[in-house]
Structure 1
Amino acid sequence: MSSSDLGGLRRFLTRGLLALAVSATAACGFQPLYGDRGVGAGAAEKLNSVEIASIPDREGQKLRNLLIDRFYESSRPGNPRYRLDVVLTATEQKLALQKDASAVRAQLLVNAPYRLTDTADGKVVFASSARSMISYNILEQHYAGVLTVENAYDRALQEISNDITTRVAMHLGRGS
């Protein structure tokens, strides 16, 4: 066989394997999370039927705002089918202690148990917990230290909002 024949055979085999892989993915029941294929509406439309309850404290307000931005495309639901309740707790742990017992590194653990309740009958249809662990440097300058801690909280809340949104969308996408 010539080199041009081998090149053509390789392309043919590569395309055949690619077609086989694509058809195998379609046969396994894969469908996009935010797509409109399948039974009912897409996850984005179902997320729009969830009311997000108030979460106490400043970090709770930030988390609620992140969830609102992710759940609602344009406006909040007028007659929500579900209610999402989230409880937010955070702990800080000092790491990397120096000889004088001062810490130069810290770790922030934010935990957010949540539950999705059907507003029609008050039953909890889904409950889970999201958590995030963020490390940051402890700085000597007061203002810079405050900003570093605030940035750590913001990163943790972003991770938690992504996790909650994905899990609730997956649950609602199952046709609950």
Structure 2
Amino acid sequence: MRALLASAMLLMLAACGLQPMYAGGGSGEVARGLAAIEVPAIEGRAGWLVRNALTDRLGAAGEANPRYRLDVRLDDRLEGLGVLSDDTIGRERRMLRARYQLVDTASDEILLDATAGADAGIDVVSSEYAVIAAEQTALENLSEEVADRIVTQLALTLRQQR
């Protein structure tokens, strides 16, 4: 009975149309496509962090003739929230938004035009050093999260291109 149930489940899974994103591992089509993406310099500290995170995830370092270019523009904002009774800010919100385009370098065709973003809340405490450290840590974490979202969308786009 268990064998029959297991085989029925496998048939149902095969019929759903799900396929592994990174089929073939590092030599698969999606992995090769991601490795063929060049990420030009992005302005500012947030740009440096996002570019490094993207390069790490794409495995694109050292590609001689990249097939694609990823153009990224960032909007990094820090806004005060939660005004306390003494008119000081008790909480901040850091927002990192990215507008990015995947461009085919051979034809200059834009294959993907999308956005990604992430937010973080920061408690404002009496130590200015602690607040600055929290703001920097938030930026580092947001850069990683935005890079993850961008790479996921890139992988989906490249998978559909084949």
**Is the contact made by 2:22 and 2:28 (CA closer than 8 Å) also made in structure 1?**
no
Question: Counterpart in 2 of 1:149?
Answer: 135
Q: Which amino acid aligns with 2:55?
A: I
1:19-58 correspondence runs (5 A): 19-36=7-24, 41-58=28-45
Sequence identity percentage? 29
Q: Secondary structure at the match of 1:132?
A: strand
Question: How many residues are aligned here?
Answer: 161
Structure 2 residues without counterparts, runs of 5 or longer: none
Structure 1 residues without counterparts, runs of 5 or longer: 1-11
**Is the contact made by 1:98 and 1:104 (CA closer than 8 Å) also made in structure 2?**
yes
Q: Secondary structure at the match of 1:166?
A: helix
Shift of 1:21: 2.8
Shift of 1:41: 3.1
Question: Counterpart in 2 of 1:161?
Answer: 147
Q: Secondary structure at the match of 1:63?
A: helix
Q: Quote the Cα distance in structure 1 between the aligned partners of 2:154 and 2:30.
A: 9
Q: Secondary structure at the match of 1:109?
A: strand
1:72 counterpart = 2:77:
no
Shift of 1:22: 2.7
**Is the contact made by 1:104 and 1:139 (CA closer than 8 Å) also made in structure 2?**
yes
Shift of 1:18: 3.9
Instruction: From the superposition, tell whether residues 17 and 139 of structure 1 become closer, same or farther in structure 2 (CA, over 3 Å).
Output: farther
**Is the contact made by 2:46 and 2:76 (CA closer than 8 Å) also made in structure 1?**
no
Q: Secondary structure at the match of 1:174?
A: helix
Q: TM-score, normalised by structure 1?
A: 0.84
Question: Counterpart in 2 of 1:9?
Answer: none
**Is the contact made by 1:33 and 1:42 (CA closer than 8 Å) also made in structure 2?**
no
Q: Secondary structure at the match of 1:133?
A: strand
Question: Counterpart in 2 of 1:4?
Answer: none
Instruction: From the superposition, tell whether residues 138 and 19 of structure 1 become closer, same or farther in structure 2 (CA, over 3 Å).
Output: farther
1:73-110: CA deviation from partner (whole Å, max 9, x where unpaired): 7x431111110000011112212211111111111111
Q: TM-score, normalised by structure 2?
A: 0.91
CA RMSD of aligned residues (A): 1.8
Shift of 1:42: 3.2
Runs of 4+ in 1 over 3 A off after TM superposition: 15-19
Q: Which amino acid aligns with 1:58?
A: R
Q: Secondary structure at the match of 1:120?
A: coil
Shift of 1:23: 2.0
1:78-97 correspondence runs (5 A): 78-97=64-83
Q: Quote the Cα distance in structure 1 between the aligned partners of 2:82 and 2:8.
A: 52
Which deviates the most, 16-25 or 48-57?
Answer: 16-25
